[in-house]
Amino acid sequence: MADSTEVRELVYLVTGGCGFLGEHVVRMLLQREPRLLELRVFDLHLGAWLEELKTGPVQVTAIQGDVTQAHEVAAAVAGAHVVIHTAGLVDVFGRASPETIYEVNVQGTKNVIEACVQTGTRFLVYTSSMEVVGPNIKGHHFYRGNEDTPYEAVHRHPYPCSKAQAERLVLEANGRKVHGGLPLVTCALRPTGIYGEGHQIMRDFYHQGLRLGGRLFRTIPASVEHGRVYVGNVAWMHVLVARELQQRAALMGGQVYFCYDQSPYKSYEDFNMEFLGPCGLRLVETRPLVPYWLLMLLAALNALLQWLLRPLLLYAPLLNPYTLAVANTAFTVNTDKARRHFGYEPLFSWEDSRTRTIRWVQAMEGSAR
């Protein structure tokens, strides 16, 4: 909340500010960063909703741009005090080529770092992902681990590889001298699977359930825990980390933080039912309907079809060997590093997060209620 005693003097830039997470970060900054003078929202595709934000006390500047274009990034960064770099190509379904994923996630991040160095911006927050750690290609479980838990982070898929490379670049840039001679201060936030208002995959599952007559079929054993975190809390962590990075550079510079809240540990599908259940869907069976070997076969078949059909059309179903492995490998976090380093407490309780998400699903077109 804006505190009338604080002076508005800071310029923030949010890359990817019109995405699922980016929009929540933008709205949270406007509500909870009283020192904000100007908020620059940089995205490949600008949302019409930005217009309604332009009437408040903060100058909201919409910038249509591409992070892969160094000159566009440099122009947007010039004069900003803080950059929150959340733009990224989130693709585990084979919609984009590996080259495009690297171009956006790795080269885009290099461009952001170089722009900070050239223009003298000192604070950079990077939205990384749990996937820079795991699940790894060996399917090792990561069970309620923290930032220091030993884990073999080995990947093959372009998305986690690109996020891991980008995160490394951001952390290595901590301490580099920016224009004017002061050091750059960077850190990375690693959300687990984000959910909440605007979550496309939740939308897809909901519509699939409606098409199947109000049912979804269990494919993953209920015992496989999957880490989830509410989008409002992830946004709040970004706002807080960006603020505190300016005060506690020595402690927080070069650090990584998992994003967490009080969301319960559940399997991916059981967790989704927390919202889809009250919206009229039910999860059929207590055990997976299809044996795992058959799912693996179907996933492999999907991958083959994707490859064969590529010259003709884009076939990118939810199920592929990678998504199956991620959904079927336990990956949950249990940490308080963000609280210890920058005083983070979730802004939304589990009850609030659940209610907000249910209301959003219920408001969707074609809702069962």
Residue numbers at the binding site for ligand L6FXTLRJ (CB under 6 A): 90, 92, 129-131, 193, 201, 219-220, 268, 318-319, 323-324, 326-327
From ligand NAD, ligand L6FXTLRJ, none, which one binds at residue 92 (CB under 5 to 8 Å depending on kind)?
A: ligand L6FXTLRJ
d(CA 162, CA 314) in angstroms, rounded, equals 22
Is 14 within 8 Å of 41 (Cβ atoms)?
yes
From ligand NAD, ligand L6FXTLRJ, none, which one binds at residue 318 (CB under 5 to 8 Å depending on kind)?
A: ligand L6FXTLRJ
Quickly count: other Cβ atoms within 10 Å of residue 230's Cβ: 28
Distance of closest approach, residue 222 Cβ to ligand NAD, in angstroms: 21
Could you identify the residue written with the tokens 């009080």? 262
Structure token pair of residue 9: 């003097």
How far are the Cα atoms of 13, 19, 123, 240 from residue 85, in angstroms, in the given order? Answer: 8, 12, 11, 15
Cβ distance to ligand NAD smaller for residue 76 or 299:
76
How far are the Cα atoms of 96, 105, 167 from residue 108, in angstroms, in the given order? Answer: 15, 5, 12
From ligand NAD, ligand L6FXTLRJ, none, which one binds at residue 235 (CB under 5 to 8 Å depending on kind)?
A: none
Cβ distance to ligand NAD smaller for residue 220 or 249:
220
Distance of closest approach, residue 154 Cβ to ligand NAD, in angstroms: 19
Nearest by Cα to 242 from 231, 232, 252, 228: 252
From ligand L6FXTLRJ, ligand NAD, none, which one binds at residue 74 (CB under 5 to 8 Å depending on kind)?
A: none
Binding site for ligand NAD (CB under 6 A): 16, 18-22, 43-45, 66-68, 86-90, 104, 108, 127, 129, 163, 191, 193-194
Known catalytic residues are 159
Distance of closest approach, residue 221 Cβ to ligand NAD, in angstroms: 22
Residue number of the CB closest to ligand NAD reads 19
Residue number of the CB closest to ligand L6FXTLRJ reads 193
Beta strand segments in the chain, E: 10-15, 36-43, 59-64, 82-85, 123-127, 142-145, 185-191, 193-195, 215-217, 228-230, 255-259, 282-284, 331-333
Cβ distance to ligand L6FXTLRJ smaller for residue 6 or 285:
285
Cβ distance to ligand NAD smaller for residue 166 or 249:
166
- Looking at 50-92, list the stretches that DSSP marks H as alpha helix, in order from N- to C-terminal side: 70-77
